[in-house]
Structures are given as structure tokens and as C-alpha cells.
């Protein structure tokens, strides 16, 4: 007998403004409980120190989470100059202190950033990152005193803006590709300046199509849940409150909203749902399309159109 999933079938994406001091998984579990969701996952962990954009995928939306994992990101960070920590951020222990270069200016820092950190760069991820080695996150190994070889990787930094320079602190606005470690940028910048540096503050603003102004802090979500319960009075049930909160969710297809749309006839939709090959008339080959049932305007999933005019499904919404 199949196990019944605990929770209700919620489908959509919640844009959480993650608070500092807790892990991304802990934040996910709190929101999952508030929504009573049976299935949920996040799209790229933020360190406990970090705050900001953490898209949470519920139910069918988890099928499209990879597009958010692969998406470009935007961060703001404060770098503390003159101190190096064992984790490259303020949560670690100070392991070295060095004086700043004499007469250091914002222009000198900015010139260094534009010359050495914008474009395609090579990074070695920190041992305190969530990157996995043989299934274990590196930070867990690091806390056990276990050192492993971490391979360098190519990432792209599209833009760095120096927002402010205050004595021994530098505020930066960074737009980058997936897999970019802001701690590595700050640490490497500090070494090139000769004084060392670590991340004092880190906040993710944007992730793919999602912008900072649309995310909601955890305490605001909790307060809204309580307010809805008060408004409903005796009629309030956990599920009725949760269904009101569903209005905050973005549709499961929002990670692929910018992809070309392919509308199917009623017959083609049936063919697709029966797992049969859909042959298109006068097709334009495309690596990725968003599949829509034209009659109901229902999102069916994503697929590829090959040169033979066949629609090849890649991820389909459940039809149950």
C-alpha cells in the first residue's frame, strides 16, 4: 500500500526573504509547515549569515526548480577589510589581521574589481560552502576538521558596482551567474589588496526572473497567517487559512515565463497527456517551449521541438 503524503497538494512558488541566523532548509521547513504543503524544496541555499531571495517551490513547481538553480543572481554585500576569518564570513573565527594599504581609495578598489573580477573568472569554492563531496556538504566536513581538494570553477560576474567605502568596509552590488561565491570574491579582493577581507553582510536581491520587491519576510508571512485566523474567527481551520495564503504563490510555470509559448489543440493535448508523440504542423525547432492547452489556457509543461516537427516533453504537470 502506497504511503500517503503528509500535507496538502500545494502547487506554486513563494518568494521568501530569508532572515539571517537560520539555514535555508530550516526556513523552508517553517514555510512548508505554515502552508501545510506535502512537497517543497528551495532553489539554491543561502548561508545562515545571508538574507534575502530564497524561492521556495511547492508541489508541481519543484519540477521546474532547476531553471532557478541555473539562473543569474544579484547580491549586495559588505566586505570587512583587514581581517581574514576561517569561513571567509563574519560567522567564522578571525585567523589573521593586517593593516590596510596606506591612503587606500574607493577608486583603487573599484579599479581592482573591474579589472580582475568582472567577466569570466576562476574561483575555488570555500570549504565552508554547501558544495558536496561524496554526498557530504563541504561545510560539514570543514567543521569536522576534514580537508578535501576543491576544484576550481568558471563563473561569470556581469557587473560589480562599488556602493560605498567607509574606512575598512566596502559595500558592493554584484550581478553574477549561478555558482558564484561572493565570499570568494571578497576573500580574493582582500588578498589582492594585501590586507585580507571577509564578508560582513550578504543579501541576495534577485534570482532569475524574481526581483527583491516581490519577496516577503518570514515574520510578515507568520503575522499574515495569524491575521487571517483572527479575521475568520470560529470559521478558521488550518486548511482555510492556508488556502488564503495560496494567493501569495506564483504559478509553477513562472521560472520559465520568458520561454516561447506553444499552444496545442484539444486533440494534441489529449495525445500529449496519453504519452504519445505530438506531430506539429509547420513547426519552428526550439530547445525549450512552454506548452499550453489552447482551449483551457492551462499550462501543461515544457518541452523541445525537434527538426522533424515532434514535440518532445521534458517536464509535464501531473494530470491527476
Structure confidence at residue 18 (pLDDT): 97
pLDDT reading at 1 higher than 80: no
Query: What does the DSSP 8-state code read for residue 8?
Result: B
User: Is 3 a residue whose pLDDT tops 90?
Assistant: no
CB 270 within 8 A of CB 249: no
Where b means 16+ CB within 10 Å and e means fewer, 52-72 reads bbbbbbbbbbbbbbebbeebe
Q: Report phi then psi at 6, rounded to 5.
A: -80, 130
Across the chain, mean pLDDT equals 90
pLDDT at 141: 54
Give per-residue pLDDT as tens, 41-84: 988 889 899 999 999 999 999 999 999 989 999 999 999 999 99
**pLDDT for residue 10 is more than 80:** yes
DSSP 282: S
- Looking at residue 2, its pLDDT comes to 47
DSSP code at position 71? S
For 246-256, write each residue's pLDDT tens digit: 999 999 999 99
**pTM to 2 decimals?**
0.88
CB 54 within 8 A of CB 206: no
Judged against a pLDDT cut of 60, whether residue 38 lies above it is answered with yes
User: Alpha-carbon dihedral of residues 105, 106, 109, 112, nearest 10 degrees?
Assistant: -110
Place of cell 593586517: 98
CA–CA dist 59, 251 (Å, integer): 11
Give tens-digit pLDDT for 193-208: 999 999 999 999 999 9
Whether the CB-CB separation of 112 and 201 falls below 8 Å is answered with no
Local structure of residue 4 (DSSP, 8 states) = P
Neighbour tally for 25: CB within 10 Å: 12
What pLDDT sits at residue 189? 96
b/e burial code for range 135-151 (CB count within 10 A of at least 16 → b): eeebbebbeeeeeeeee
3-class secondary-structure state, position 27: helix
Cell of 196: 585580507
pLDDT digits (tens, 9 = 90+) for 86-112: 889 999 999 999 999 999 999 999 999
- Which residues are catalytically annotated? 47
Q: CA neighbours within 13 Å on the CB side: how many for 52?
A: 21
Query: What is the C-alpha end-to-end distance of the chain, expressed in Å?
Result: 18
pLDDT at 320 over 60: no
Domains, the chain, ranges and CATH? Answer: 12-69+211-248 (3.30.2350.10), 73-207 (3.30.2350.10), 259-316 (2.30.130.10)
Grade residue 282 by pLDDT with cuts at 50, 70 and 90.
confident
Amino acid at each position: 500500500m502506497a504511503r500517503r503524503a503528509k500535507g496538502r497538494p500545494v502547487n506554486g512558488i513563494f518568494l521568501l526573504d530569508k532572515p539571517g541566523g537560520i539555514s535555508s532548509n530550516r526556513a523552508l521547513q517553517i514555510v512548508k509547515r505554515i502552508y501545510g504543503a506535502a512537497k517543497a524544496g528551495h532553489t539554491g541555499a543561502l548561508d545562515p549569515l545571508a538574507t534575502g531571495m530564497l524561492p521556495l517551490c511547492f508541489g508541481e513547481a519543484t519540477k521546474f526548480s532547476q531553471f532557478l538553480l541555473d539562473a543569474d543572481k544579484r547580491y549586495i554585500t559588505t566586505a570587512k577589510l583587514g581581517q581574514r576569518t576561517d569561513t571567509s564570513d563574519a560567522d567564522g573565527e578571525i585567523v589573521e589581521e593586517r593593516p590596510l594599504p596606506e591612503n587606500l581609495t574607493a577608486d583603487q578598489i573599484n579599479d581592482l574589481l573591474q579589472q580582475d573580477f568582472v567577466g569570466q573568472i576562476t574561483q575555488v569554492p570555500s570549504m565552508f560552502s554547501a558544495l558536496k563531496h561524496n554526498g557530504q556538504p563541504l561545510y560539514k566536513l570543514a567543521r569536522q576538521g576534514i580537508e578535501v581538494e576543491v576544484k576550481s570553477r568558471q563563473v561569470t560576474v556581469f557587473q560589480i558596482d562599488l556602493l560605498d567605502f567607509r574606512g575598512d568596509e566596502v559595500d558592493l552590488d554584484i550581478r553574477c551567474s549561478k555558482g558564484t561565491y561572493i565570499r570568494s570574491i571578497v576573500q580574493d579582493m582582500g588578498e589582492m589588496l594585501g590586507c585580507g577581507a571577509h564578508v560582513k553582510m550578504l543579501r541576495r536581491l534577485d534570482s532569475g526572473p524574481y526581483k527583491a520587491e516581490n519577496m516577503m519576510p518570514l515574520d510578515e508571512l507568520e503575522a499574515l497567517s495569524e491575521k487571517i485566523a483572527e479575521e475568520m474567527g470560529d470559521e478558521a481551520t488550518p486548511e482555510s487559512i492556508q488556502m488564503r495564503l495560496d494567493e501569495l504563490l506564483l504559478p509553477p510555470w513562472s521560472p520559465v515565463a520568458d520561454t516561447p509559448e506553444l499552444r496545442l489543440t484539444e486533440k494534441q493535448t489529449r495525445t500529449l497527456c496519453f504519452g504519445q508523440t505530438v506531430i506539429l504542423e509547420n513547426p519552428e525547432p526550439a530547445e525549450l517551449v512552454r506548452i499550453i492547452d489552447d482551449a483551457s489556457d492551462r499550462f501543461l509543461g515544457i518541452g523541445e521541438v525537434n527538426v522533424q516537427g515532434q514535440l518532445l516533453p521534458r517536464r509535464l504537470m501531473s494530470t491527476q
